[in-house]
Chain A
Amino acid sequence: MRYYLEFEKPVQELELKIEELKRLSNGSDLKISAEIKKLEKKARELHSQTFADLTPWQKTLVARHPERPYTLDYINMMAADFVELRGDRRFSDDPALVGGFARVGQFPVLILGHQKGRGVKERISRNFGQPQPEGYRKAMRLMRLAERFKKPVITLIDTPGAYPGIGAEERGQAEAIANNLMEMSQLKVPVISVVIGEGGSGGALAIGVGDRLFMMEHSVYSVISPEGCAAILWKKDGNEIGQQEYALAAGALKLTAQDLLASKVIDEIIPEPLGGANMNPEQAAKNLAEAVTRTLEELSAKPAGKIVEERYRRLKKLGGFVAPKAV
């Protein structure tokens, strides 16, 4: 059985009922078959309605859905001849960030991204998709390699954030992120970034400086998690905070793909199948591949110098400041 989020419970109830009826009827009773058809339609509509009206907090939960496709799932579904390359050549290999060369459609590319684990054991070994400095340094090493061989770079963003640990600080987590931001801004090949799930702050941005920024329909991207934001705003004097505060914070942060398209921070929303990417990962991967190849066709025609210049101009527009009118 699939994993249902709290707000999907009414859908789950309907689907359980359908299952039950199917078991009883063995397909011979016409009356029950008609009833099943009716209920299936109702379930689909309810599901569709639920997903059309998702609140920012519900979107956050969908973005973190444990059955949502992760970076390696997308690579398996949309890329051919993937060769994973590992290690930062300085300290270790970080399994929370993976990457390698592959082909997407007719395009040879470097594809890399955060990797959350599936199941308890892998979740732990992948550190819940929270990279150490080595992850970011590996990513940069691979991007430099891609640049030398003129391969476009696709980055898939899906992390709660960079790992906050003693070792990470000792080995320069901040420097690793800063360096990626700087180097990616000058990379002489096209860079397309896609938030596929959770875009958690600097740890997400560290592989997200590019020519285009896309978000999957039910992904989120924010400077701080709703929980973190709520804690700062309302966890004072021993106040307990919970779902209600998280929901308020998620709304205030304007972190959904739809919010970010409206404020022109992202370029495009990639549609997900009904009920989210986890309901039909193949379809989600197809949509992602379509957006990526279409964009690569456009970007590949540009000379490297122009790409870098336009990337800088694009970044420069991302501000919410007020400047005085020129005199």
Chain B
Amino acid sequence: MAWFKRNKQALKKVKIPEGSWIKCEGCKEIVYRKEIERNLKVCPKCEYHFRIDARERINLLFDEGSFIEADEAITSGDPLSFKDSMPYKERLKFNAQKTGLNEAAVSGTAAVGGRTVSVIIMDFSFMGGSMGSAVGEKIVRAVERAIEQKTPLITVSSSGGARMQEGIFSLMQMARASAAIGRLKNSSIPYISILADPTFGGVTASFAMLGDVIIAEPRSLIGFAGPRVIEQTIKQQLPDNFQRAEFLLEHGLIDMVVHRREIKAMIGKILSHLTLPE
């Protein structure tokens, strides 16, 4: 549905614009680019968390050199032979060149404080992090890997939702991913879901909200329907903090809002609790 609209909107915002000085989205101050990069892409003045890509996320969350990619050759087919201003197949190629990724999610195994985990990291720069069949398949396989190898599952979401260009097949990925998580929950394998800006639509309404523990980055926009769509539907102005991580925390929808710098340590702590007694 409507979540794609916001996806488009969000795409216009560049993660970190070129040039040595940039304007912070959070405080609108002009900040020195290098300073932001040194600071994990967090504004030193207002703590605004800029979007980061899958590689940066991997470096941030997991033990150095521990990530081993899996299923990297899984790519989207074109089940609808979809074409708008560009055939879908070409759009995929274009996005692959732009991002150096072949899909909107990277998956594999990694370690957090020496403990092996199965991971899925979404990347918003690839078609707005949208979930099509390839992303769905990578999720299913990562969850099944977690079950087989009895390793915790960690997902990082950043997505506009289901991918329109694959029609009903994208929608079905919501069911596939959720069903896989359901099987994981028949065991004592923990699942930590991390939500980054933005997380919407079919991703929120499937695996992302199914974490045993859900962590969001400060100020991230998270929801089912995009704010623009809601505004058009109800014809009212939305409250200030609407769909921000802090709003979700206040409404009991997530467990915590954690600064980017502290997420890795928090994962370690949570995993130390979510283990069975010897």
Contact = CB atoms under 8 A, between A and B. Distances in A.
A222 B80 CA distance: 12
Interface stretch (B21-29, B50-58, B230-238): B230-238
A163 B4 CA distance: 16
A166 B178 contact: no
B66 to A, nearest CB: 24
Contact of B224 (A162, A186, A229, A312): A162
B179 A185 contact: yes
Contacts of A206: 205
Contacts of A300: none
B167 A254 contact: yes
Nearest to B238: A166
Contact of A228 (B2, B173, B178): B2
Contact of A165 (B133, B183, B206, B230): B230
Contact of A321 (B134, B229, B230): B134
A254 B50 CA distance: 37
A178 B209 contact: yes
B75 A321 contact: yes
Contacts of A255: 167-168
Given A165-B230, A320-B79, A205 B8 contact: no
B140 interface: yes
Interface residues of A, number: 58
A172 B253 contact: yes
A178 B178 contact: yes
A260 to B, nearest CB: 6
A208 B170 CA distance: 15
Contacts of A164: 1-2, 224-226, 229-230, 233
A231 B171 contact: no
Contacts, number: 212
A161 B74 CA distance: 30
A175 B254 CA distance: 10
Interface stretch (B32-40, B81-89, B267-275): B81-89
- Interface residue tally of chain B, by bracket? 35 or more
Which of B182, B223, B243 has the largest number of chain A CB atoms within 10 A? B182
B175 interface: yes
A124 to B, nearest CB: 14
Contacts of B1: 161-162, 164, 200-203, 223-225, 228
Which of B8, B74, B186, B225 has the largest number of chain A CB atoms within 10 A? B225
Those 6 A-B pairs whose CB atoms lie nearest each other, nearest first? A320-B79, A164-B225, A185-B179, A181-B178, A174-B204, A321-B133
Interface of A: 161-166, 168-175, 177-179, 181-183, 185-186, 200-203, 205-206, 208-209, 221-225, 228-229, 231-233, 252-255, 260, 263, 265, 311-312, 315-316, 318-324
Given A186-B179, A233-B84, 5 more contacts: A174-B223, A229-B164, A263-B169, A320-B80, A322-B74
20 contacts: A163-B233, A166-B230, A168-B225, A169-B230, A173-B225, A174-B205, A174-B209, A174-B223, A174-B224, A178-B178, A178-B205, A179-B209, A181-B175, A201-B162, A233-B85, A253-B167, A265-B168, A316-B140, A316-B176, A321-B136
Interface of B: 1-2, 4-5, 8, 71, 73-80, 82-85, 132-134, 136-137, 140, 162, 164, 166-176, 178-179, 181-183, 185-186, 201-202, 204-210, 223-226, 229-230, 233-234, 236, 238-239, 242-243, 247, 251-253
